[in-house]
Amino acid sequence: MPDNCYEHNDELRGSIRCATLQAVRPLAPRISDRSSFGFSARSVRRALGVLLTIVALLASGCGGDDDNAGERGISGQRPAPTLPGQAIDGFAPGVDDRVAIVGIASGETLPMRVLPGRDQAIVAEIPSSAQDLFGFGQAFETPDEQLWWLVRYGDAQGWIEPGAAYLGSPEDISVSVAGRLERTSYDSIEDLVSDVQRQFGDDAVLVTITDESSVGDVAATIDSLGSDDDSLVGERIIVTANSATGSYRLTGAQRVPLCARGVNNSGICL
């Protein structure tokens, strides 16, 4: 139905014209008796009923229903709310898949935003050590070609720039890492971690240090991103050390694949 109340289609105009004639005809004085202008009660009731029909037809033509209110497209239907950009299939963690934040340096956070876009409001700050994000299987690319994922973290739900991955099964690399260390003991955990970090390239990022030196145990997480294998985002190195002797010594190291598309039941990247 057109928005202009006076631009009706032929069918509606015909219906209103017919109804109007039916309403007016009983009220018109008889031609054979021009001096009498009396009306029967039946004629008045009939005329009022038809006039109400006319009002209803006009209301349906001008008002419209709630489903078609507001902005309309060419088809006459209201378009769904949209954002600049496009939805992207197959580039986000699946529904209820658990993923971990990767590549965010210690002390920094990953902003979760209410909508895709760096200018959108932040609903939560996700710490670099978070490993309990859950996906919705939705990705969106903004006009600046930035990809966004819809995720849930705790009670918060929103959009993040891709900074998460599936964690694969860990592999023990203690012997390899220990063999490339410059020393066997270090004055600080930072010195030990820095030596390990050096082994994995300049782009390796220290994610977190969990210092429980009061009981002699320390752990550090290092992310090294980038891979020629498209099933991998990179790898996570988890270092453990002990300070019981007053200096820090490496006690173990694990490599955890950071998987791009998920993992199978054996923890191997898909």
177 in the same domain as 255: yes
Q: What are phi and psi of 131, to 5 degrees?
A: -130, 15
39 in the same domain as 19: yes
**Count of domains observed in the chain:** 3
Residue 106 lies in a domain: yes
d(CA 159, CA 151): 6
> Residue 96's pLDDT is what?
87
Helix (H, G, I), strand (E, B) or coil at 132: coil
> Residue 56's pLDDT is what?
47
Helix (H, G, I), strand (E, B) or coil at 161: coil
Mean predicted confidence (pLDDT) in 137-160? 90
161 in the same domain as 177: no
d(CA 252, CA 172): 8
Mean predicted confidence (pLDDT) in 55-70? 44
> Residue 246's pLDDT is what?
83
Q: Which of the residue ranges 58-62, 120-124, 175-179, 259-263 would you say has the lowest mean pLDDT?
A: 58-62
d(CA 113, CA 216): 39
Q: Which of the residue ranges 181-185, 209-213, 242-246 would you say has the lowest mean pLDDT?
A: 209-213
190 in the same domain as 236: yes
> Residue 40's pLDDT is what?
55
Rank 52-56, 83-87, 95-99, 232-236 by mean pLDDT and report only the highest: 232-236
Residue 270 lies in a domain: no
Domain span at 90: 86-165
Residue that has been written with the tokens 């498209």 in this structure: 230
Please report the DSSP string for 113-150 in residue order.
ESSSSTTSPEEEEEETT---EEEEEEEEE-TTS-EEEE
Residue 81 lies in a domain: no
Q: What are phi and psi of 159, to 5 degrees?
A: -110, 135
Q: Which of the residue ranges 18-27, 65-74, 111-120, 169-178 would you say has the lowest mean pLDDT?
A: 65-74
Q: Which residues contact 65 (CB under 8 A, 6 or more apart)?
A: none
Residue 184 lies in a domain: yes
Picking from 227, 203, 225, 199, the residue whose alpha carbon sits closest to that of residue 101 is 225
Helix (H, G, I), strand (E, B) or coil at 31: coil
Domain end position, chosen among 165, 190, 221: 165
Domain end position, chosen among 103, 137, 165: 165
Model pTM score:
0.63
The proportion of the chain whose per-residue pLDDT surpasses 70, expressed as a percent, equals 67
Mean pLDDT of the chain: 76
